[in-house]
Chains A and B, each alone.
Chain A
Amino acid sequence: MPLEEPILCKRIPTHPWGDPVDRKYVDYDRYVATGGYAAMDKAIAMPPAEVIDVVKAAELRGRGGAGFPAGMKWSFLPPDDGGRRYLAVNADESEPGTFKDRLLIDFDPHLLLEGCAICMHACRLDTAYIYIRGEYHAQAKALQRAVDEAYAHGVFGEGSKLGQINGRWPECHIHRGAGAYICGEETGLLESLEGKRGWPRIKPPFPAVAGAFGRPTIINNVETLAMVGPILDRGPEWFKSMGKGRPDGTPPQVPASFGPKLYGVSGHVNRPGVYEDELGVKLSYVIEELCQGMRGGKRFKGAIPGGISMGVLGPDEYHAELDFDIGKKHNCLGLGTAGVIVFDEDTDMVAVARNIARFFSRESCGQCTPCREGTSWMYKILCRIEEGGGRSRDLDMLLELAGSMGAMPGTTICGLADGANWAVRTIVNKFREEFESRVTREKYVALPVMG
């Protein structure tokens, strides 16, 4: 069911409510004139623990890829000890196919800043760092402008409306990355923030206990934090009236898929772009209604549901519901960032797999052998298949390589390897015939494995 009114896009003209050509930066005054920062004022008047309870009750799940419940994350923090505690905002947005956070930063950055302020009050965090990827030059400027405005109007800095937190006036700083996908992984981000190479850390300890500079730290995605203001404003019940609840019989601890979501759609559709709709809308609806159909009237061949790490949906999964349960239902890793990439019938899936494997081999940070070696081997094998030199056993080798790497099989530190694993595995499996037709068949005798 389509969303009744835009929520995250309230001030950002978006189809069907507005025309993207009318988008412009919303400054502090216009933000406040349209109801902005009222949720922050409301939150400040509440005891911090109650604010966390509201976010918990709304069952807001992280929009950065993993879908972890935000309220639960916030309640993992140890009791405050008077020392510093940090908020790290993940604006690294580098997952191919993902361009939704950029929309919020470009046009309505105060929505993010208000969410940060509420989170800092609720979790007793005195300093926020917004980690924004280095290539987002214009976005860093827009964000800096908004941060300056927020300081000038008493959101942050000395005399802040939030009052002192941990004995300090709350601060909000922008920290620019420098071109490394892995710095979007939360602990890679923290290392980078500390001035080091972006090597993900072994967990535990989790950032909520020992994060930035060894202190308790909350890390959330831009869209997750942007959602906090509207939830405080209108309440958890309103939030849960959108999206999809738990399937019947599921215990209440299992998180559901409530609320609106930004879908960034690219690829072979007539009108690509970022759209806001409820969680759980069908892929076919996104393509036909939001994006006005396949480009040139071509047939649908497949799609990536949420950034290339998530794997692929095949031709028979055209009606897949885009919610957090998509992984279980459609044999992919999950909803990810909801950055949907659509392929038409002319798309070469071997090339798609090769492109993805190249991405991961280039962006692997190199700490874990299965990831560092596995991604480059997959890339080499896929190049060979694409160029016509592949053999049928290459396909099995690809699947074996892919299936053995990742934090989920327990062989790597972070989830980058799982992304590579799922992407390559699902493409080869769901388009097996296409791959078979590209390799030469051969008989081979299995040799005993040494070692």
Chain B
Amino acid sequence: MAWIVKNSAGATIDRREEAYLNEAMKKRLEKEVLWRYPTRQAATLPVLHEIQHEYNWIPPQAIEETAAFLGLSPAQVMDTASFYDDFFLQPKGRHLIMVCQSLSCEIMGHGRLLDALREKLDIEPGDTTRDGKFTLRVAECLGSCGTAPCALFNETLHENLTLDNLDEILNSLE
């Protein structure tokens, strides 16, 4: 529900000396990404993807840095970033598991998978394990309905999931 906005007016921002969006990243983005678009704002999604790729989430300070880099206000970048489910504005685990809960996956038994994951990781969807290893999420249709049920483990899609191959996948993740 992208339209639910949290009141962040009183929130304090953890800051660090070193920039998240550092000079090397900016140079690369300038060279490889910005020229593709007629406006700098259009690079918002690619820049946020880059930051999340580098740091595993998007810290508030990085939102400010993105705004400065693209000539926008932090509010504009925040407005965009908070709309999209894939951008994490809170730290997440080292591994992200996204279990598809849409129709084809539900009728093909996604519930058993999700229950097994809940139990094994001892967390509810939306949460991160205490050791910071896994974040569990439910996702909507991942475009793999013919091989349901399915889930994304980080950037890798696993199809035709069963309780057996679930264990294997979990064990393969460091």
> What residues of chain A have their CB less than 8 Å away from a CB belonging to chain B?
84, 93-99, 101-102, 133-138, 171, 173, 175-182, 192-198, 213, 264-268, 272-274, 304, 308, 339, 341, 343, 347, 351-352, 355-356, 358-359, 361-367, 372
Contacts and interface: CB of A to CB of B under 8 A. Distances in A.
Contact of A178 (B48, B79, B108, B146): B48
Contacts of B98: 135
Contacts of A362: 1, 140
Interface string B118-149: 00000000000000000000011111111110
Contacts of B86: 134-135, 177-179
B2 A175 contact: no
A193 B106 CA distance: 31
Given A175-B45, A196-B80, A268 B103 contact: no
Given A178-B48, A180-B84, A347-B107, 4 more contacts: A176-B46, A178-B84, A264-B145, A308-B102
Top 3 closest pairs, chain A to chain B, by CB: A366-B3, A195-B44, A179-B86
A133 B143 CA distance: 10
A197 to B, nearest CB: 4
Contacts of A361: 1
Interface stretch (B8-16, B17-25, B34-42, B161-169): B34-42
Nearest to A134: B86
A195 B143 contact: no
6 contacts: A134-B49, A181-B140, A359-B140, A364-B3, A366-B2, A372-B3
A34 to B, nearest CB: 25
A339 B103 contact: no
Q: Is the interface of A mostly helix, strand, loop or mixed?
A: mixed
Given A195-B80, A196-B80, A266 B3 contact: no
B173 to A, nearest CB: 16
Given A135-B139, A137-B155, A361-B1, A352 B104 contact: no
Contacts of A304: 103
B45 A177 contact: yes
Contacts of B141: 94-98, 359
Contacts of A367: 3
- With most chain A CB atoms within 10 A of its CB, the pick from B41, B48, B80, B83 is B83
B43 interface: yes
A273 B140 CA distance: 19
B75 interface: no
A364 B147 CA distance: 26
B152 interface: yes
A273 B146 contact: yes
A153 B104 CA distance: 40
Given A99-B144, A99-B146, A134-B86, A193 B3 contact: no
B116 interface: no
Contacts of A178: 45, 48-49, 84-87
A175 B108 CA distance: 32
B157 interface: yes
A102 B79 CA distance: 29
A99 B143 contact: yes
B102 A195 contact: no
B140 A365 contact: no
A194 B39 contact: yes
Given A173-B36, A178-B85, A213-B39, A96 B146 contact: no
Interface in B25-84: 36, 38-39, 41-46, 48-49, 70, 79-80, 83-84
Given A176-B45, A181-B140, A352-B107, A195 B39 contact: yes
Given A195-B42, A197-B83, A363 B107 contact: no
Nearest to A376: B1
A179 B2 CA distance: 10
Contacts of A101: 143
B52 to A, nearest CB: 9
B79 A96 contact: no
B148 A195 contact: no
Contact of B106 (A137, A181, A355): A355
A241 to B, nearest CB: 29
B145 A98 contact: yes
A268 B43 CA distance: 42
Contact of B103 (A194, A264, A308): A308
Given A180-B84, A273-B146, A94 B140 contact: yes
Contacts of B144: 99, 102
B143 A343 contact: no
B107 A197 contact: no
Contacts of B102: 96-97, 308, 355, 359
A198 B39 CA distance: 17
A162 B25 CA distance: 33
Contacts of B48: 178
A397 to B, nearest CB: 22
A136 B143 contact: yes
B45 A343 contact: no
Contacts of A193: 42
A264 B143 CA distance: 10
Contacts of A95: 141
